[in-house]
Each structure stands twice: as structure tokens, then as C-alpha cells.
A and B are shown apart, each in its own frame.
Chain A
Amino acid sequence: MEVTGFDTWVLSLAVFLPLVGALVVMLIPKAYETELKLVALGSSLIALVVGAYIAIQFDYGAAGDLQFVVDKGWIDVINSRYIVGLDGLSLPLLLLSLVVVPLCLIYSWNHIPDPGNPKAFFVLLLILSTGMNGSFVSQDMILFFVFFEVVLLPMYFLIGVWGGEDRRYASLKFFLYTLFGSALMIISFLALFFLSKDASGELLQTFDMRVLTDVAGVGIIKSTQVWIFAGLFMGFGIKVPMFPFHTWLPDAHTQAPTVGSVILAAVLLKLGTYGFVRIAIPFLPEGAIAWAPWIGLLAVIGIIYGALGCLAQKDMKRLIAFSSVAHMGFVMLGIATLTDFGINAAVFGMIAHGLITGMLFFVAGSVKERYHTLEIARLGGLLKAAPRMGWILGFASMASLGLPGLAGFWGEFPAILSAYNPGAGLSEELFRVYMVIAAIGTVLAAGYLLWLYQRTAFGEPTEEFAGHEIADVNRDEWIAWVPFLIGIVLFGIWPNLIFNVTDDVVSGITASVEAIAAGS
């Protein structure tokens, strides 16, 4: 597709508009609080409008191809270029990221957590937005790496400045884990750069992700692929996070301010799973086949471990955080099957988890604001005290446990199903065992979510809060939450909205993996 005129700019606009907004906000003095909030929201909304334009102009008939491609020189000395492009895999994730940020800004409008300073808070959210959007559209490994890292510092400060009691520990842990992963990731990127060959055996020496997808690792021997994949696995696996690297997540989520948790759950974790689907598997199919059983194993351990962790939690936010570990386990299980079916389910699961868990964190944040605690034992009777919020919590919990008809179902159920018949010559017995374990995980998920709901929403408000007036959902919260709720229902009853978009890309990836598996 020939890209001309305005279309050459749209992706860059969607990525950098929030950053421009951040720079403008920085120049506005602190005293003009409304103005700077408006500028921040405005820039993220314009980016969203650009996103909508992209979604309309996107050629859904050719969702498997990169569109709106821009390829310009950037760092010539290392042969790295500014290449951005968008296909059916990137589009839903980019839109998710573009939608979540303005909603978070609206939610924070009058709820800036202690110690205040809306200017810095909004600037950081906007920088974060640029990093996330950029990661999803980069088609050059170095560019991807830079955007991938840009999100780190803003999130570090969001947790560290506006977080809870243990914020220093949590923010540092988050940072060090991720930094370690990305240092190994960049080593793997360079190894790909130096070792990749085209079909005729010529060294490619390129960071261009399009080219590396096309060559699919031919010319890199299997043992080397396994090593390079290990580096990528550390980079992306820590971000997901996979068991046993998940320990940063409950701390970060529990301590982060509400919108920090929402963005972390809704978008940041997806950078990891996206990396597997976009980079690790297509670039190194043989490495992926070798690693798939282990990824599957860690995924199901994550499912069970996360669920058991949930059952042991006394804090509502920490419980939701552990449920994230379990849900990302389903996503990774889907990816590990290396089937069309499983990876599509995983991509769907990424979106669904983003919406549902994001919603749950929003509710948790609002509960915290009203009760000043998230200790499950002290809560109760939310349905009586604030019925609308109680219903929303119930709705999101149902979605999270995978109730058919809501978005969560389409992420989990096909992922489990796909393990019945894994692709690329993977052991059927092994993956069927994983399938059974994952199925048990869904039962546990129903258990902990319903138990959470019972303890917080049913019954009478506890004595401690009996006399208190608990405000129900307010205007800002409605504006921020309604799109999440609509999304959960819409994708629940019409999953093809996403499957149709992602399938072309995913089947391309699995086809090349299958070809390699058949050839070896």
C-alpha cells in the first residue's frame, strides 16, 4: 500500500502528540491548574482522534500487512531506522493504549493522590503514553527498545511519588526487575542483528523487524536460537510477568496510585506478551519450539500460583494483582501452544485483561478513596452503601472469572482449548496436562473472585463504616468507566471484532513456525 500525504504522519502523531502535550504542560506554571489539565487531556484526546482515524482508514482486508508504514533514516551508523507501521496485531493494542490514557486523566481530574502536584502527575502520564504507543507501532528493534524503556521512568515515579506506604521498595523492585530483563533483551537484539542471514546465507545486519519476520531465523542454528530466545524470554517474561519473575507485580500494583495500577494492568504488561508474539516467536521459530513446553509449564504454574495467591490475600488490590498473574498465565499458555487458535486467544486475552483488570483496579481505587482501606475484612455491604459501585464490581468480577458473554471468556476458554492440540510438533500429552491444570485454574478463579465479591459487597456494611455516608459513583468515574464497561460487553458478545483483525497476522506467524517445524 502506497502511503501518501497525511497518512504518513498519523502513526507518528498518535505516538508523539502526548509527548508534545507533556512539553507544553511543563511550560505552564503550576498555578494555572485547570489550564494545564486541559492541555494534557486535550493532547491525549487528539491522539485518540488520530487513533480513531487510523482505525477507520485501516484496510481490514489486508490486516496481515503493515499499514501506514514510514521508513526514515535515524541512526545510520548502526543501521537502525525510524520504521513505524501498524497491522492487525498492533491496531487493537494501540487503540487500547490510546483509550486508557485520557480516561485515566479524567479519573484523576479531581483525585490526584497525595502528595498532589497534578502538573507532574499529568506530565508523567503523557510521557508514559508516548512510550506505550510507540512500542506498539515500532518496526525497528532499536526503536522498539527505546520506547519500551521510555515507560520505565514515568512508571517508577508514579509508583514512588504517589504510591502507598511501601512505595519506595515497590518502585525500585519494579524498576530493577524490568531493567535486568531489558538489558538481556538488548543483547539478544544485537545477536539477532549480527547472526541473521537471508535465505542465500548473506548476513543481513539489520534491526528491521519486517525483514527479520520474513527470514524467520533461517541461518541461525537451533542451539543459538535457544540462547537468543532465552534473552528475549527474560526481557519479555519479566514484563508479563511470568512465574517466577512475577514478584515485582503484586508489590507494584498494591503500592501504585489507582491510575498507575490501571495503566500497568491495561497496557504495560501487554508489552511483554506483545513482544513474544511480535518478536520472539516469528524471529526465532526454532527457539520458540524448544522453549514452548517450558513457557507452557511456567504459564500453568502462574495460573495456579496466582489463584492460590489470591485466596491468601487480605488486601483487595493485592488480590486483583495476583489475579493478573493468573490471567497472564492463560495468555502465555495460549502463546506457548504456537497455534493460530491459541495465539489469537492470547491477543484477545491481552485486550480483555486490560479492560477487565483495569476496571477492577479503578473500583479498588475508588473504594480505597471512600473507605481509606482495602482490607477485605473491614469492607462489606458495598451493594448497600454504594449500590452502583457494588454492581460494577460484581460485573467486573464476573467478566474476570470468564463468564461467557463477557470479554474475559474469549481470552481464557480458547486458550485452554488450544492446549488440547498444540502446534509445531509439540507434545500433545504434555499440553493436555497443562490444559487440565489451566481448567482447574478457572475454577479457582471463580472461587477467589466470588469470595472477594461476597466479602466486600454482600451483607451489611461493617460496624466500622455503618454510620458513614459512602458516596456512590460520581461523574468523573462514570466518564472514565463507561468505555471500559462497554468494551467488556461489546467484545464479549462480538469477539470477532478482535479475532477478525488479529487473525491474519497470527496465522502468518504460526504458518512460518509450522513450516520450520515440518522442515526440521
Chain B
Amino acid sequence: MEVLLAFSRPALDWHALAPELTLLAFGTLITVVDIIWDDRSKRAMPTLAGIGLLATLIPILTLAVDGTERSMFGGAYVVDDFSLVLKALFLISGYVVILMSVDYIRDGDYYENEYYTLMLTSLLGMVMMSSSRDLISVFVALELLSIPAYMLAAWRKGGPRSNEAGLKYYLMGVFASAVMLYGMSLIYGLAGSTTFGAIAQELGSSEANPVAILGILFILIGFAFKVSAVPFHTWAPDTYEGAPTPVTAFLAVASKTAGMVALIQLVFVAFPGRDDVVQPFFWLIAALTMTIGNLIALRQNNIVRLLAYSGVAQGGFMLVPFAVAADAPARAVEALVIYMAIYAFMNLGAFTVVLAVARKTRSGEIDSYGGLFQYAPGLAVAMTIFLAALAGIPPAGGWFAKFGLFRALLDAGGGWAAGLGVVVAVNTVIAFAYYARILVQMWFQSVPDGDERPIAIPGALKAALAVTIIATMAFGILPGLVGHFGEVSVLSALGG
């Protein structure tokens, strides 16, 4: 009895936890600075937050150089190449979002300090998510990244749409959490453990047990809400439209990626033997998400809503590799990591252009892009690159992401995989039809109100554009760069 009650401190690997601790320290620092200097500190906040993110990259680099796989808390928290690549991706995406936020938050007269604190907190959740190999740590990470995001979505306090955005996101989010928790409780009941390794062993051997199937489905559906997969996507367009644009970009990229990361770990580490449930489930929702997201996107007139539905459809593309999770696991993980990395940059880039254009037009209508090429050719070319990337047209980066999907599908082989490939192909075409509507406005139409004054782009937005353009083109012309990261991640994720 005494032995059981005695608390022994789990071994902590401080090096492995250094990224999380750095992030936490900077989040706290911002709050403290805010308390001490109050309004005088406002100017420094974005810089401080940005430095925090870049500083967090340092331990990630040292861990990557070190290269050993570190596992803590009985395998519940793992730092391997897979998690490091994704942590770096989250931090860089977060950095670009902060660049996008600087002028938007300052000009809009919103709370600044709290904004950046919450942003860092949410990123902390994401960074933790990529290491979580345990039901409880996944759940904690998920809530840690979600709760600040609910608040950020409602940051434009004066606007009813923003309030609606936050509330809707919150209600859907907790509903999804509840569904997921129920599924987790079923799985825990069967496996007797919360770590993914133990779950994999138990579930792999329990044949057609309906409770196991139900548990798996509930967990997957919970995350399907997070990644706004059809039919669980209904919150996304309203939330995206109402939230402040940088937050929308954050949700569309970082938050969605975090959901995908959780799914990767669940599907490939916790449920590797359950392709009987996982593959048909993802086949169906991937096909649905792509097609319905695209079809609704065709009808949008507001650019943020259009990008929201395009994001839903892109999420559908990302779900495709899960449909061959057991037939071609290595290729599927590779395709996912590559897709997430490229998607982050091309989508953040598109949102940056939206932010820059809105500074002049004060409008989110697609019509307001008329004649952009005449008075802001640089922005028009940048947007063209991002849209081409999203549509998957070489040499902009997105083609390699789509290529990865096809590669995973054909590696798995068989009629079902090939059929899904054709669905992807058809959807690629549909998607271009609505991306082209923006191209048409920018290039073919004239300026609606004849106002051809150039757009003054603030420095931070320029930096965000530079990062995203360079990354998008580099992935397109030298895809070996990102392909390398994809490959590294495979082995260890499966080994976990």
C-alpha cells in the first residue's frame, strides 16, 4: 500500500521540454510586462511575441541535431523527428500570423497584450499536440490550443459577427470535445490504458468488437469537427468570416494542422490495426469534404468565406492519405506532412494578401479585387502565386502536395484508392473554377470605383508576404526541401 501511494517524480528530460518551457516563459513574460508597464509596453508586444517564437525554434534545432528519440511519462509524451518538424511548422506559421497581426490589431484598437499572450498559449497547445502519444495528453493539448482560439475569434468585440464567430466556434468546439471524450472513455475501458502503444496492442487483437468501433469513430468524429470535415464543417465559414482576419488565418492553418496532427497520431500510432474502421471512414469523409467544400465555395462572394470553404476542401485533400493509412502507411504520413507544410505557407500567403488589400478597399467582397493588377501589380502577382499553389498548378508549391496524395493512393493501389484519386482530380478542377474568379477580378476587370491609388503595405505584412512567397515557390521548384522533412517523419511516427 505504501508503495502505491508514494509519489515518485517522473523523470523529466529538460532538453526535450525546452521548447514548451521557452514558449511558456515568453507567454508569462508578456503578461508580466503588461502588468508593470501597462500601455507603454504595447508597441513592444508583437516584437516580444515574435522573439518568443523564434527563440523556441532554438531548442527545437538543438533537439533535431541531437537526433535521439526522447520518450517521457511512460510513452505519453514523445519527442521525435516527426514531432520536431511539426513543432517547427507551428512556430513558423505562428510567426507569420504575428507578422500579419501587428498592424491589424494596433490599428483596430484591440487589446494587444492579451492577444499575443493567447496566441502564444494556443501555440503552446499545438507544440504539445505534436508530442502527445496518449489520450489524456492529446486532450489537454487540444483544449489548451482551442480555448484561447475561442477567445481570439471573438476579438472584435464591437462587431456582432465576431461575437457570433467566437460563440459558434466555442459551442461546436465543446460539443466535439464531449463526443471525443466519450469515445476516449470507451477506448480506455477496452484497453485499460491511455497510452497509444497499449491501445494499439489491445485494439489490434479485439476483433469486430462494436464498442471498439464506436469508440474509434467517436474520437475520429471529434477531430473531424476540429479539422472542419464535412458534415462537421458548418461552424467554419461563419467563424472564419466573423473572426479578425489574422485569427482566421491562424485557425485555418495552425489550428487545422493541429487537428490533423492529432489524427495522424491516433490513426497511425493508436489504431494501426483497425483499417477496417479507419479506411472506409476516411474514404467517405475525404470525398465528401473535398466535393462539398468545393461546390459551396463556387457560390461565395466574400473572399474570406471563399477561402474558408476552400480551406474545408483543402482539409478534404489532407484527409485523403488516411483512406490508405494501412495499405501505404509510410507514404500516407509523408503525404500528410508535406501537404500540411505547403498548405501552411500558401494559405497564410493568401490571407496576407487579403489583409493588405482590405487596408485599402475596406471590403471583403470578391468584386473589390477588380483591377488589382493595375494599381498593385505586386500583390496581384503574389495572390496569383498563392492561388495557383492552392489549385495545384506548377511551379507554385501546391502541386507537390497534391502529387504526394496521388503517390500515396497509387502506392496503396486497388480500385478504391484509384477511385479516390479520380475524385481528387475532379476536385482539383472544380477548385480552380473559384480560384479563377479572384484571378478574373484582379487581372481582367477594371477598378470598380476608379480609385487607382496604390496600396501602402506596412513592413510587417511585407515580411509575411516575403516569407510565404519564397516558401511557396521553393516548395514548388525544389520540392526536395520539404520532401526531406516528410521522409524523416515517417519512420519515427510509426515507431512511436
**A residues at B contact (CB < 8 Å):** 73-78, 120, 142, 145-146, 149-150, 152-153, 156-157, 160-161, 167-168, 171-172, 175-176, 179-180, 183-184, 186-187, 190-191, 193-194
Taking the complex as formed, is B171 at the interface, i.e. its CB lies under 8 A from any CB of chain A?
A: no
- Which of B395, B425, B436, B483 is in CB contact (< 8 Å) with A75? B483
**Bound form: Cα–Cα A172–B438 in Å:** 12
A190 touches B407 (CB 8 A): yes
Q: Which A residues are CB-close (under 8 A) to B432?
A: 175-176, 179
* Cα-based distance from A75 to B487 in the complex (angstroms): 12
Q: 10 more A-B contacts (CB under 8 A) besides A75-B400, A145-B394, A187-B406? A: A153-B384, A156-B439, A157-B439, A161-B444, A175-B436, A179-B432, A183-B428, A187-B410, A191-B410, A193-B407
Are B443 and A161 touching (Cβ within 8 A)?
A: yes
- Cα distance A115–B466 in the bound complex, in angstroms: 29
A506 → chain B, closest Cβ, in Å? 29
Considering the chains assembled together, what is the distance between the CA atoms of A426 and B155 in angstroms? 71
Query: Smallest distance from the beta carbon of A332 to chain B beta carbons, Å?
Result: 23
**Whole-angstrom CA separation of A184 from B59 in the bound complex:** 44
| B428 adjacent to A179 (CB under 8 Å) | yes
Given the contacts A76-B483, A184-B425, A191-B410, A146 and B444 also touching, CB distance less than 8 Å: no
- Neighbour of B429 across the interface among A74, A156, A183, A187, CB < 8 A: A183
Q: For the complex, give the distance between the alpha carbons of A458 and B208 in Å.
A: 83
Q: Does B413 contact A (CB under 8 A)?
A: yes
Across-interface contacts of B391 in A (CB, < 8 A):
179
Complex contacts, A149 vs chain B, CB 8 Å: 393-395, 399
Query: Does chain A have a CB within 8 A of B19?
Result: no
Nearest Cβ distance between residue B431 and chain A, in whole angstroms?
9
Judged by DSSP, the binding face of B is helix
- Using A146-B394, A149-B393 as known contacts, say yes or no to A77 and B483 having CB atoms under 8 A apart: yes
Q: Report the bound CA distance from A74 to B393 in whole Å.
A: 18
A152, B429: Cα distance in complex, Å: 13
Kindly state whether residue B496 has any CB partner on chain A within 8 Å: no
B55 touches A (CB below 8 Å)? no
Pick the residue among A76, A153, A167, A180 that contacts B444 (CB under 8 A).
A167
Closest chain A residue to B410, Cβ basis: A190
Identify the closest chain A residue to B432 (Cβ): A179
- Tell me, yes or no, whether B73 is within 8 Å of chain A by CB: no
Give the residues in chain B near A152, CB-CB below 8 Å. 393
Chain A CB count within 10 A is highest, among B377, B424, B425, B484, for: B425
Asked if B433 is at the interface (CB within 8 A of a chain A CB), the reply is yes
Contact of A146 among B395, B422, B436, B480 (CB under 8 A): B395
Answer yes or no: B403 CB below 8 A from chain A CBs: yes
> Do B388 and A168 touch across chains, with their CB atoms under 8 A apart?
no
Whether, in the assembled complex, B411 has its beta carbon less than 8 Å from a beta carbon of chain A, the answer is yes
Q: Which residues of chain A are near B422, meaning CB under 8 Å?
A: 184, 187
With A and B bound together, what is the CA distance between A156 and B442 in angstroms? 13
- Interface assignment of B440: CB less than 8 Å from any CB of chain A: yes
Identify which of B377, B388, B444, B480 gathers the most chain A CB atoms within 10 Å of its CB: B444
- Determine whether the beta carbon of B410 is less than 8 Å from that of A194: yes
Which among B394, B407, B413, B486 has the greatest number of chain A C-beta atoms within 10 A? Answer: B394
Interfacial residues of chain B within 434-473, with CB under 8 A of chain A in the complex? 436, 439-440, 443-444
**B421 interface residue per 8 A CB criterion:** yes
Chain A residue nearest in CB terms to B485: A77
Q: How many angstroms from the CA of A193 to the CA of B407 in the assembled complex? A: 9
Q: Give the shortest distance, in Å, between B475 (CB) and chain A (any CB).
A: 11
- Inter-chain contacts of A156 with B (CB < 8 A): 436, 439
State which of A78, A153, A157 has its C-beta within 8 Å of the C-beta of B483.
A78
Contact partner, B399, options A146, A160, A187, Cβ 8 Å: A146
- Contact A179/B394 with A78-B407, A160-B440, A190-B407 known, Cβ cut-off 8 Å: no
Pick 22 A–B contacts, CB within 8 A, sort by A. A73-B480, A74-B478, A74-B480, A75-B483, A78-B483, A150-B395, A153-B393, A160-B440, A160-B443, A161-B443, A171-B444, A176-B432, A176-B433, A179-B393, A179-B432, A180-B429, A183-B429, A184-B422, A186-B402, A187-B406, A187-B418, A194-B413
CB of A131, distance to nearest CB on chain B (Å): 9
Shortest beta-carbon contacts, A-B, top 6: A77-B483, A183-B425, A146-B394, A190-B410, A149-B394, A180-B429
Q: Closest chain A residue to B404 by CB distance? A: A78
One digit per residue, 1 when the CB lies within 8 angstroms of any chain A CB and 0 when it does not, for chain B 475-496 equals 0001110011011000000000
Given A74-B480, A172-B436, A183-B424, are A150 and B444 also a contact pair (CB < 8 Å)? no
| With contact pairs A167-B444, A176-B429 given, residues A76 and B480 touching in the complex (Cβ less than 8 Å) | yes
Interfacial residues of chain B within 79-114, with CB under 8 A of chain A in the complex: none
Known: A75-B483, A172-B436. A187 touches B425 (CB 8 A): yes
| Chain A residues, CB < 8 A from B425 | 180, 183-184, 187
Q: Given that A146-B394, A183-B428, A183-B429 are known contacts, is A160 also in contact with B410, CB under 8 Å in the complex?
A: no
Report the separation of the CA atoms of residues A189 and B246 in the bound assembly, to the nearest whole angstrom. Answer: 39
Q: Which residues of B contact A76 (CB under 8 A)?
A: 480, 483-484
CA A156 to CA B435, docked complex, whole Å:
13
Complex CA gap A73/B479 in Å reads 12
Contact assessment for A75 and B479 in the assembled complex, using a CB-CB cutoff below 8 Å: yes
The residue in chain A whose Cβ has the minimal distance to the Cβ of B421 is A187
On chain A, the residues within 8 Å of B211 by CB distance are none
The yes or no answer to B426 lying at the interface (CB within 8 A) is yes
- Chain B: CB-nearest residue to A160: B444
Chain A residue at smallest Cβ distance from B425:
A183
What's the minimum C-beta distance from A43 to chain B, rounded to whole angstroms?
Answer: 18
Q: Which of chain B's residues have a CB closer than 8 A to the CB of A74?
A: 478, 480
Residues of A within 8 A of B426 (CB): 180, 183
Contact B443 A186 (CB under 8 A): no
Question: B444, A194: Cβ atoms under 8 Å?
Answer: no
Q: Which residue of B lies closest to A157 (CB)?
A: B443
Q: How far is the CA of A187 from the CA of B486 in the complex (A)?
A: 21
Give Cα distance in the complex from A145 to B161, angstroms.
Answer: 44
Are B395 and A77 neighbours in the complex by a CB distance under 8 Å?
Answer: no
Query: Can you list, as one digit per residue, whether each of B271-296 has a CB less than 8 Å from chain A (1) or not (0)?
Result: 00000000000000000000000000
In contact, A179 and B411 (Cβ under 8 angstroms): no
A161: chain B residues at CB < 8 Å are 443-444
CB-nearest residue of chain A to B418: A187
Kindly state the separation between the CA atoms of A153 and B388 in the bound complex, as whole angstroms: 8
Measured between alpha carbons, how far is A260 from B425 in the docked complex, in Å? 27
- Which residues of chain B are near A187, meaning CB under 8 Å? 406, 410, 418, 421-422, 425
Residue among A77, A78, A149 facing the most chain B CB atoms (10 A cut-off): A77
Cα separation A167 to B444 with both chains bound (whole Å):
9
Chain A residues closer than 8 Å to B388, beta-carbon distance: 153
A123 to B, closest residue via Cβ: B381
**B480 CB contacts on chain A under 8 angstroms:** 73-77
Who on chain A is nearest to B476 by CB? A146
